[in-house]
Amino acid sequence: MIKIYPTLLLSLLLAFTVNAETNTYRLTDFFAGESIIRLEGKADSIDFAIPLASITDVDNAVLTLDVISSKALIEKRSQLVVRFNNATIGQIRFDPDRPSLISEVPIPAKLWRDGFNTLTFNVSQHYANQCVDGSAPELWSEVNMYNSTLQITSSNNVDNFTFDKLDGFFNPGIGGLRDVSLITATDVEDDITKRTLSLVGQALALRNQYQPLELKHETFDEGYVLPELDTANEGQRWTEESIQRYERSAWYTRGSSQNNRSGNALAKSQTQQLHVIVGTASSLSPVLSDTTVNSIKGPYLKTEVTPSFSIGNRVIIPSTFRLIVSGNTTDDVHKAAQTLAVMDDEINVTSQITVLSHSGMEASRLQKQLIAAPDTAYEFQDLGISAARFRDEGDFSKRASFLLPADFYVPENASVSLLLNFGYGAGNGPGSIMNVKVNDELVHGLALDNPNGQVFKNYKLSVPARYLKGGANNIDFDVTLRAPLAGVACDEVAGSHLIFQLESTSAIDLPDAGHVAVQPNLALFGETAYPLARFESAPASSIIIPSSDFMDSALTISAKLAQVANAPLLNLTINNMALESMPSNAIAGSAIILGTPDSLSQVQQSEFTTAIEATKRWSYQLQNNLHNRVRNLTQDRSFKAMKVEGNTIQESDLGPQAIFTAHANPESNDTLFILAAQTSELLNDRVSDLVSLSMWGQLAGDFFAWSDSRAPSLVMQVNETYEIGESDDAWLQLRLWLSNNPWYWLVGFVVLVFSISLLIYLLLKRRNKKVQDSW
């Protein structure tokens, strides 16, 4: 065993290297809409947000815009104004002789701020000096968001790594981490790998919000081999002092630091790697200082900067940021991970936390915390929806988003009440309106046509609850404000007086709902992590891996599930077991099995429509001609339920692609997911693709195949649907089952009606005979 040498002051004072990094982003990385935006009319504008992690300083930023403008625009009165955080940073004149242009606009570093920065494109467009018709079709210009780029040179600004900086590292903005290593001792306790590592990963991923976080599990041995020094140079040899410094550094990351995976463009922004070491005090003692080990009295969290190790000018081990999750026992470590999952970083301006106790850490409670409960009324502000205020002439939109339980299920005639508090000022012109949409269904329209303005309190809209769905729901308030007509040709009334406001005291009254969902449904899984994350209860669920080679994939998926569920999944475990010796009850409940065709051959898949084994059974789409004909005819690009009747059994490998399937769990009334690729390495790569923003959103059907991060190669619904839900509401389950299988109802109905009719007929005939006999 290597001894831990006393810490040397010198090594502590040794500054770690802060590298400036330059990255280029497409504007589409920050904008969810079309890749080309069109700005129309006399004046138009569009805003979008560019997030920046708090640990990042922008040293230099240049915006390169690819713009096309209408040739009808006159030069002096038509221009694109670029604003950054409301400061004008560029004015691009539209030239009818040069309608296509590429322009570079530098963004001053001092304008950047932590969090969301607003980039605004504002155009004024005229085809004449007077009497311009604002709705004229020639008033347009386009910005190609895909071709337009933002080049940023940034650097890490953390010099004192405390917990309040943690959400700067794990942040969806520029500079945030997109992958992280979880490091344990090689002979780590089973409990750590089974439930704690996953929880740590989830805790960090939750800080990343919507940005994916890839997780990598690495281990260190108790012993190590000192790196070879350039003995040719004088002074480059191992001394006791240098060994002590070496042991204080993050020597165990030496192998992995050169193997930094870069999932997407944002990932390249990291300037300093952060890693997490997880384990009991005793298992982590080879890499922790004695002081640290001695300070671990219970569940323990610590942030620190490891010193770099260099000899001469050569940096052998760079300085790194390190998060320690530890404790005296595995339970302590798990408790520390739980705290990490729920803690607010901002209030912990400290680098060391010992958790004494915690309460309310039940999985079922945490999983429903951010989800609106059925049969409850919420004000918008309770759901985190802010008030909206729109001024001036133009089209405005306010989106109120909230989460409902994934298995939110209401009868056909249930309704949800919106009690809106809103108002608009005097002097609205024709065309001023408010439209309300619920999940893109137009449910109400109102002309804002009172010349004196109007204020509404508890303006009630009763909307069919079937417009709501499990998971994320959006209520859009689209408002158009128009100035009144001047009544004189070529004269216009300015719209600066126009105002509309929607109060956050507006409320939504949700109906009572059951907790039942139709399965298998990868779309629902992708949106809410259902059925691994549920609202009403939190049954145990698991990710089953055949070997530790699949650990990275399992951790990354569990982190993604926490992100979509908006809560840590405390009851999710990662079970590493040989599939051939796996007991049948191991997959009871909701489970995801990772594997290769070879390893999955051990899993009983005979009941499934598709089977991924050495010999594969595929449900080819073409085996259902009718479905495909109809889909082609209607250009249906959705993946609605379709039952494929036939299948083909073949011998082949999966190639570079991965397959994600969902089936009824043969061991319990639940869903079993299978995620497979030809090798564990390929599976890791495909899981990285899968958790990306673009691919995860495309999850659908119950058969999902992909081989890159752009688009799935095949999505199908091949299995019979079934329902799962809360066992205490059998009525709702029955409703859903019958709704999916009306034939059963009808057959029962026909049989009983026929039987009753026959019996009545026989009895009536008998009576008739008796009456006739009496004549």
Partner 1 sequence: MDSSPHENVSNPVQYIGALLLASVLLGAILLAPMDAIGQLFASLLVLISISWCSKEAQHTQPHQHFFRILALVLGTALTTRYLLWRGLYTLTYTDIFSLVAVWLLFIAEIYAGITSVLGAIVNAFPLSRPLLTLKDIDTERLPSVDVMIPTYNEDIDILEVTIRAAKILDYPKDKLFIHLLDDGGTDQKINASNETAAAAAKKRRSNLQALCKKHDIDYHTRAKNEFAKAGNVNSAIGNTSSDLIVILDADHVPTSDFLDRTVPWMLKNENVFLVQTPHFMANPDPVERNYFSAFTRMPSENDMFYGTIQKGLDYWGSSFFCGSAALMRRAHLELVGGISGESITEDAETALDLHKLGYESVYVDRPMVSGLAPETFDAFIQQRMRWAQGMTQILLLKKPFKAEGLKWYQRVGYMSSILFWLFPFARIIFLLMPLAYLVFGLQVYHASMLEILAYTIPHVVATYMISTMLFGRTRWPLVSEIYEILQCAFTLKALIKVFVKPREPSFVVTPKGESLDKTFVSPLANVFYWLILILLFAFFTGVYKFISEPLSRELTVVVMLWNGFNLLLLMSVLSVLLERKQVRSQSRLPATNNVVLRTQKGQAWVGDLVDLSIGGARMKLKGEGALFSDQAKLTTWCEALNKNVHLPVTVLNYDSKLSLLRVQFSPSTEKEHSEVVAFALADSRRWMSFQRRRTRAITYWYGAKHVLSVGLKPALLHFLHALDIAGKKISHKISSAKE
> Which of 69/733 has CB closer to partner 1?
733
Distance CA 79, CA 241 (A): 65
Name the segment binding partner 1 (CB under 8 A); options: 357-365, 422-430, 684-692, 748-756. 748-756
Name the segment binding partner 1 (CB under 8 A); options: 214-222, 311-319, 646-654, 758-766. 758-766
Structure-derived torsion over alpha carbons of residues 624, 628, 630, 634, reported in degrees to the nearest 10: 160
Name the segment binding partner 1 (CB under 8 A); options: 141-149, 260-268, 458-466, 589-597. 458-466
Please identify which residue in 394, 425, 464, 666 interacts with partner 1, judged by CB under 8 A.
464
214's tokens: 């890839």
> Which of 305/732 has CB closer to partner 1?
732
Name the segment binding partner 1 (CB under 8 A); options: 101-109, 355-363, 664-672, 753-761. 753-761
> Which of 649/753 has CB closer to partner 1?
753
Q: Shortest Cβ distance from residue 414 to partner 1 (Å)? A: 9
774's tokens: 């009496």
> Which of 614/746 has CB closer to partner 1?
746
Alpha helices in 545-638 (DSSP H): 551-565, 597-600, 625-634
Q: How many residues bind partner 1 (CB under 8 A)?
A: 45
Q: Shortest Cβ distance from residue 440 to partner 1 (Å)? A: 16
| All residues at 6 or more sequence positions from 540 whose CB lies less than 8 Å from its CB, including other chains | 571, 573, 589
Distance CA 593, CA 586 (A): 10
Under the binding rule (CB under 8 A), the answer on residue 469 touching partner 1 is no
Element (H, E) at 765: helix 742-773
Please identify which residue in 389, 430, 474, 754 interacts with partner 1, judged by CB under 8 A.
754
526's tokens: 């992708």
> Which of 252/409 has CB closer to partner 1?
409
Distance CA 372, CA 382 (A): 9
* Cβ 575 vs Cβ 544: under 8 Å: yes
Name the segment binding partner 1 (CB under 8 A); options: 164-172, 211-219, 384-392, 745-753. 745-753
Please identify which residue in 226, 377, 649, 746 interacts with partner 1, judged by CB under 8 A.
746
Please identify which residue in 33, 445, 451, 646 interacts with partner 1, judged by CB under 8 A.
445
Q: Shortest Cβ distance from residue 259 to partner 1 (Å)? A: 53
Q: Shortest Cβ distance from residue 502 to partner 1 (Å)? A: 18
Residue with tokens 């240098």: 242
Under the binding rule (CB under 8 A), the answer on residue 232 touching partner 1 is no
Under the binding rule (CB under 8 A), the answer on residue 458 touching partner 1 is no
> Which of 467/620 has CB closer to partner 1?
467
> Which of 102/760 has CB closer to partner 1?
760
Under the binding rule (CB under 8 A), the answer on residue 640 touching partner 1 is no
* Cβ 202 vs Cβ 341: under 8 Å: yes
> Which of 630/760 has CB closer to partner 1?
760
* Cβ 5 vs Cβ 244: under 8 Å: yes
Q: Shortest Cβ distance from residue 399 to partner 1 (Å)? A: 20
Under the binding rule (CB under 8 A), the answer on residue 745 touching partner 1 is yes
> Which of 461/577 has CB closer to partner 1?
461
Distance CA 280, CA 326 (A): 5
Under the binding rule (CB under 8 A), the answer on residue 763 touching partner 1 is yes
**Which string of x and - marks every residue 405-444 that binds partner 1 (by CB under 8 A)?**
------xxx-x---------------------------xx
Under the binding rule (CB under 8 A), the answer on residue 466 touching partner 1 is yes
> Which of 578/751 has CB closer to partner 1?
751
Element (H, E) at 694: helix 693-696
> Which of 499/513 has CB closer to partner 1?
513
Q: Report CA 624 to chain centroid distance, whole Å.
A: 34
Give CA separation, 595 vs 192, 576, 592, in Å.
Answer: 21, 11, 10
Q: Quick one: which of 276, 523, 475, 526 has its CA closest to 372? A: 475
Distance CA 686, CA 553 (A): 9
Q: Shortest Cβ distance from residue 518 to partner 1 (Å)? A: 11
> Which of 10/760 has CB closer to partner 1?
760
Quick one: 453 exposed, middle or buried, by C-beta within 10 A (0-12, 13-18, 19+)? middle
Q: Mutual orientation of helices 551-565 and 680-690 as an angle, nearest 10°? A: 20
Distance CA 551, CA 573 (A): 12
Q: Shortest Cβ distance from residue 742 to partner 1 (Å)? A: 4
Q: How big is the CA angle at 369 (ends 368 and 373), to the nearest 5 degrees? A: 60
Q: Shortest Cβ distance from residue 512 to partner 1 (Å)? A: 11
> Which of 61/463 has CB closer to partner 1?
463
> Which of 108/445 has CB closer to partner 1?
445
> Which of 451/742 has CB closer to partner 1?
742
| All residues at 6 or more sequence positions from 549 whose CB lies less than 8 Å from its CB, including other chains | 680, 681
Number of H helices, E strands in the chain: 18, 40
Distance CA 339, CA 323 (A): 13
Distance CA 614, CA 768 (A): 70
Under the binding rule (CB under 8 A), the answer on residue 748 touching partner 1 is yes
Q: Shortest Cβ distance from residue 461 to partner 1 (Å)? A: 7
CB atoms within 10 A of CB 2: 14
Cα of first residue to Cα of last residue in the chain, in angstroms, is 113
What is the SS3 assignment for 719-752? CCCEEEECCCCHHHHHHHHHHHCHHHHHHHHHHH
What part of residues 682-741 is at the interface with partner 1 (CB under 8 A)? 731-732, 734-736, 738-739
> Which of 370/746 has CB closer to partner 1?
746
What part of residues 200-219 is at the interface with partner 1 (CB under 8 A)? none
Under the binding rule (CB under 8 A), the answer on residue 760 touching partner 1 is yes
* Cβ 404 vs Cβ 372: under 8 Å: yes
What part of residues 109-148 is at the interface with partner 1 (CB under 8 A)? none
Q: Quick one: which of 425, 390, 389, 383 has its CA closest to 404? A: 383
Under the binding rule (CB under 8 A), the answer on residue 391 touching partner 1 is no
Q: Shortest Cβ distance from residue 764 to partner 1 (Å)? A: 5
Distance CA 483, CA 668 (A): 62
Q: Shortest Cβ distance from residue 720 to partner 1 (Å)? A: 16
Q: Shortest Cβ distance from residue 761 to partner 1 (Å)? A: 5
Q: Shortest Cβ distance from residue 463 to partner 1 (Å)? A: 8
Q: Mutual orientation of helices 742-773 and 730-740 as an angle, nearest 10°? A: 90
How many residues make up the chain in this entry? 775
Under the binding rule (CB under 8 A), the answer on residue 643 touching partner 1 is no
Structure-derived torsion over alpha carbons of residues 579, 581, 584, 587, reported in degrees to the nearest 10: -40
Under the binding rule (CB under 8 A), the answer on residue 768 touching partner 1 is yes
> Which of 3/770 has CB closer to partner 1?
770
Question: Where along the sequence are the contacts to partner 1 (CB under 8 A)?
Answer: 411-413, 415, 443-445, 461-464, 466, 731-732, 734-736, 738-739, 742, 745-746, 748-749, 752-769, 771, 774-775
